[in-house]
Structure 1
Amino acid sequence: MKTRTAWRMFGVFSLFSVVVLAVGLTLGIRDVIHPAPVSWKTDRTGESSGTPKTSHNLQITALGDSLTRGTGDESGFGYAGNLRSRLAENTKKDVYVYNNGVNGYKASNLLKDLQTKPDIRRQVQQADIITLSIGGNDLFYTQSDEVKPDVIRTRIPTALTNYKAIISIVNELNPKAKLLYVGLYNPFPDLPNAKESAKVVQQWNNGVTQVLYEHPQAIFVPTDDLFRSDGMKYISSDHFHPNQAGYKRIGDRMAEVLK
């Protein structure tokens, strides 16, 4: 009798463990494909929100989505942290990052923040360098695993309208700061329709480049070539975001552009 009861309890415990594991796996996959908006305002390089502005330091205000946040980078640096390290080395100044990257953000979300959040507007006003990554979720957000280039193309006009409004606000708040926009790369080089998705990425990059031409301090930072050759080598396990090596390549490219 005791043995039967013990086996029954063991069976219930095993079933409970399987359910917990399944729920955890489902939530983990959902967070990778459609990450919840969780703000990260402090980078992992010792940045303090109370850092005084002097001629001996540089302030980077990073805006955007999960690429700005650094999702997929095991080190936690992301492109913003790598850019900070390179600038500190090149300029011999203290460089601070205010990282406002939010997983899952679209251009409309960032536009609303710039319109309504005084702390972000203040960080933009005080910045020496402003970095921006946005557009990936506008284009590639999908409820299924299937990437349809024809559907993605229909999302570009609205996203570009919001993007143009973002650039206008940033330029109005701080016309002197260098603005570095991180161009999109094709995150699906291993899919059968890789060539078509690459064309969509190029269409988006061409559109944002035309917007940036209107602002002398804005610079388009190309990244697609960084992931074109052996691209999966620099993509994280979620098959979308860069890994540590990929983010380092982006940060290094941004530092070179600033030179």
Structure 2
Amino acid sequence: MYKKFKWRVILTISIITAVVLIVGFVSAIFITGTSSAKNAFKAEDNKQVSNNNKKEDKVKEVDNKSYNILVMGDSLAKGTGDEKGKGFAGDFADLWKAKETKTVKVTNVSVIGDTSSGLVNIASEEQTLKYIEGSNIILISIGGNEIKNFTNFDSTSTDSNSNAFKITQEKYLNNLKNVFKAIRSKNSKCMIIFVGLYNPFGKNLASDKINLLDNWNYETNKIVSSDSKSIFIPTYDLFKYNTDNYLAIDKFHPNGKGYDAISKRIFEALNNYKD
């Protein structure tokens, strides 16, 4: 009697264990299937986001009914340091609106930290070429990132430091020529405004380094002036006596006042320009 009861208990436990295992297996399949479905939906969502980004990357049409200003270059062209977030391009556009009957539109393709080599690449992109083609004015600021460390160069020496500066400058000037070629290949009528470099280091910059900066601006001006519809905008004198008032907290980029001073000089130069 006891043996029969013992086997019944064992059999019952075995059945219960089997049922539990089966339920667990089915649940695992269901959970895995649900998780896979969720992952599939998530992948589809990511694919949709990617497709939306691709749509945004398509070349935008230029509004020919507007007065179009294109801004190219580095962080200075981007307006870094301006508390108002406008930079010289935005400030200039506000000034230009007062004398322009068309709606003034600003397109900024500047890249923070860019150099002249990067600008050559930007200027040759399909979308940028479309912007160039429809632009009335093109504002450019480039070169600051290439010589921001030029305090390490010695203009009086014939060593590798001096050669490094010359190599950097020659590459920059060649890149600048190529940028102008790219612009003129698409637009022979627009005005090109090139913003020169200033000295952000004030009195801390040695005289030989100031000579390097002056030469950099001089050589740049020669290329800009060789184009009959281009203007070089000097900024060195603007900041020479206003370094503390015109620089942002980083002591390198202009602040709102500094950008405003640059924009006013651009405006004056265009007003006095004679074709």
Q: What TM-score, normalized by structure 2, do the two folds share?
A: 0.70
1:62: Cα distance to partner?
A: 0.4
Query: Is 2:234 aligned against 1:222?
Result: yes
SS at match of 2:204: coil
Corresponding residue to 2:179 among 158, 161, 166: 166
2:62·2:130 contact (CA, 8 Å) conserved in 1? no
Corresponding residue to 1:251 among 263, 268, 273: 263
1:139 maps to what in 2?
A: 147
Structure 1 gaps of 5+ residues are 1-48
1:183·1:205 contact (CA, 8 Å) conserved in 2? yes
2:208 maps to what in 1?
A: 196
What's the CA shift string for 1:198-253, capped at 9, x where partnerless? 22221111111111232111111111111011222101111110001000011111
2:129·2:186 contact (CA, 8 Å) conserved in 1? yes
**Larger Cα-atom Rg:** 2
Distance 2:239 2:73 in 1: 20
| CA separation of 1:119 and 1:138: change in aligned 2, threshold 3 A | same
SS at match of 1:180: strand
Amino acid aligned to 1:166: V
1:141: Cα distance to partner?
A: 4.5
SS at match of 1:91: coil
CA RMSD between the two structures: 1.8
Distance 1:182 1:192 in 2: 21
SS at match of 1:161: helix
Structure 2 gaps of 5+ residues are 1-59, 156-160
SS at match of 1:181: strand
Amino acid aligned to 2:171: T
| CA separation of 1:147 and 1:243: change in aligned 2, threshold 3 A | farther
| CA separation of 1:122 and 1:135: change in aligned 2, threshold 3 A | same
Distance 1:252 1:231 in 2: 17
Amino acid aligned to 2:118: N
1:186·1:197 contact (CA, 8 Å) conserved in 2? no
Distance 2:116 2:149 in 1: 12
1:235·1:246 contact (CA, 8 Å) conserved in 2? yes
| CA separation of 1:192 and 1:82: change in aligned 2, threshold 3 A | closer
SS at match of 1:90: coil
2:132 maps to what in 1?
A: 124
Off by >4 Å, runs of 4+ in structure 1: none
Sequence identity (%) = 30
1:184: Cα distance to partner?
A: 0.7
SS at match of 1:210: helix
SS at match of 2:266: helix
